[in-house]
Structure 1
């Protein structure tokens, strides 16, 4: 069966369902971009599907009671066509105040809006060079070749940094970047 909105008689029910679908799909778009962005602490190829599945579960649990939370036009259209062909008649298309158009249009608008928001406000704000040298791989900065990477403060190509900072150096760098004063941090005891 296709997802259906909860039963209520409000004249704003279609608008509520439409806005709910747009927002939940936008959340999904932002989450997928954030999970797969290599500039973030990405979960990796093995854990990424589980992270996306967790986001879909959270969206369905929190937004599902409002509109059925289709998140994908195919999740609504396929069952709707099947029930129509199975003999339920044209009610499949007109039930719940012609609800069928909401899962077709709202998820597309939501994912495009969420993806655009991520690209504008998050992805474009990543630093050009990583703050921690360990994030540089043998191909350059996060998979880019050295000749295509951009350095803000250099006139020519930079020599690779071979210095491996210690944990305390990284911590003090982070404290300085955040505007605080570096403080001595005692290392945690190790099990080995």
Structure 2
């Protein structure tokens, strides 16, 4: 049976892993500081949360610290099970975390939302993406990680804040 593409036109599977992992790293944006940072002024202005800058900073610090303490356990899971199942769980957890943040109406709820965003987004999904790239790229690992990092930085630090501000302007921070 002949292949629809000539042999020289095939793309090595590792490039699809690089693209997928880069997109996964970009999708961690809601749990990353640049994503959360855009929402902070709107959280402070939300009268229902009654937050001071100090209280918000403390909640974010504690949620980030606790999530970081749990990441070695998730890393062990990735090492023992591979990236597929942990990636699915992290993606689902991050999605639910976004809904949790949008629905929060108290400081404990905000703590839980920040914890989940940081754990599933900044921690778990990012760990899975980096592990996937490192698993497929050996000799050119530095180049692959550099390409992924450049794309993630451009989107997360350049495009994402602009998009979030636009979404917040259109529908408020809870809808963004």
TM-score, scaled to structure 1: 0.38
What TM-score, normalized by structure 2, do the two folds share? 0.41
